Structure 1
Amino acid sequence: MEFKSKNLKDSKPWPWTKCFHPIKGKVAAAKVAKKWSLDHSSLIIGQKFSHGAHSNIYEGKYNDEHVAIKIVTIPNDEEKGSLASLLEAQFMKEVTFLPLLHHQNVVKFIAACKDNNGYCVLTEYASGGSLRSYLNKLKSKPMPLKKILGFSLDIARGMEYIHSQGIVHRDLKPDNVLVGEDYRLKIADFGIACDASKKCDSWSGTYRWMAPEMIKKKQYGRKVDVYSFGLMLWEMVTGILPYKGMTPVQVAFAVSDKNSRPEIPSNCPNVIGNLIQQCWDMKPEKRPEFWQIVQVLEKFDQSLYGIDGRVLNLVQNHCSRDHYHHNKKVVFLHWIQKV
């Protein structure tokens, strides 16, 4: 495939050829993807706005719907055969898992295309970019508590739904969470997700957010996503990249061999700090489930702002430990410790 960007105002459809042309020995993969075959005559590709290690992401329109278009080109070099196989496996997981998920906090799948030279996946367009880009714009400044609770609840609700569908994401991090309209977060990128009912591959993900059992290549399950969520919540609270200044290998060693975790700041709310520690516990069985995390965050949000969203008078400074002793509604901390 050769792709060039074009102006969205141009009504001429983008020429798309050989979609789902089966590669020898890969007919089964093509059949799965063909269910979601896109109509190339209805696709307009606009400007590139992001990229990954092996992909470019464009803004576009499909049947008059604003979409994000991820295009992956397969390397031709025979020495890169393993990379080509990896990219195909990631594409197949995207078109296997993402179309099954329908939730306001999960990016919506639109269509997909596959041919001899590459892959394409269309999803809804998130105008706010990734959570990573949002955090970078803050320049290491922490978010307001209200925003932290809103964002963390969006992620937790999305992950609660994903786990309920028997899927483990395995690469939950700010880069793979998108910011949609009204700052609604949506979980994306299911290229290395796995079926929870089957044995997942021994290794996948990103070291900085990877659970220790994955680093050690031990058997693991959905609690690896809870660990990653704990690191994301810590980053939203502090505004700092976890293990900043350390290489991925140094992070892996510190987490798995030294049981090292980032320091929770003294001005962090007790409930949030304890929840973070629960999420990144070394033992997966001690980490809460996402439905429990949602309950904790919802109760904390209501205790601070009330059911109608108004700030309660008892809240003077969300980073002060003392005011929590006066807030009798925050009595569910002991419940977290029982998880």
Structure 2
Amino acid sequence: MSPDVQRYLQHPWEKAMRILAFLLVLVGLSASPAMAAPEFFGEFRDPLEGRFVDAQPRPMFKLAAQFRFVDPNGLLWIVPPGKEVDGASIPQAFWSFIGGPFEGAYIKASVIHDHYCNEKSRTEHDTHRNFYYGMRANGVEEWKAKFMYWAVATFGPKWKLDKRVAQNLKCNPMGDKIFCSGLPEVKLTISSLPTIDLNDPDTLALALSKASTVARSLKTSNGKVLDISASGQVGASLDDIAKNADQYRSVFSTKDYGKSAAKLGVLSQWNVSGLDQVKAWDNSEMPRYNAAVVLTPDTVKKVQSGKYFKLDANSGALLGDQLDLKSLEIKSGHSR
């Protein structure tokens, strides 16, 4: 018997361990992020064809041909030819963040989003979520797309769809009697709900201050952290964003910012004219609610210089004074 055979018979577990180690290496390679398939966000099926037409209060974009998008769930979103959209589904206060709704990589997603916000044939949740998918499918960075999704989910159009099943009766006379038959018919009722009043100076100032915190947190974390609340960091999954948006809708609707101070979390002065100019938090460290300065007459200069802040019961009166609308370059229409 050869020495190799004798050694194998004495230690058969050695070969088994070598095989196991080899299999573990294969499993590790298959799970490697470098080999993982890129996430699929959907695809646009058609080129976007159309032109801008004069209209009030802003120009409209009129589609010359059908425009389709298939989301990652396989749902088809269609804008028919001849439809006109104006970007109003994105709150105008946020237009300057992206240069306008019909600029660059945002235009395709904006057209789909605008149309379905007008038609309201699908739920508000699905329509706003699809806006995120459209941006990502067209190459918008994750943190920017999540910011814009948060903006429309918080401040954009809001509606409720109610489905009711009714009997659709058809009656026919037969002799001296009438016979009726019916089939169930689904009827859709659309209820438009109030949006946040961004014409109110205090609400606008607070909305943009909250938006600044969201944008800086998303950029610093590369899209992983959405916000800083009184209880800590808020995750940036799509479900987290939708939940956070619902919470802020409630706060902004009341306009009682003194009583809601803690619910607003960390705030930050918005002093840039677009998402490309947003700066990460200092030293790439997320702020802490307990370390935020309270907005008072004595801390105004710190806030204006970029120090993150929070409100107390007396801070509300100072909000509108801290916002320079001209610096935001808020646009009233599309620049052509």
Q: Give the alignment's TM-score, normalised by structure 2.
A: 0.28
Q: Give the alignment's TM-score, normalised by structure 1.
A: 0.27
Indicate the structure with greater strand content: 2
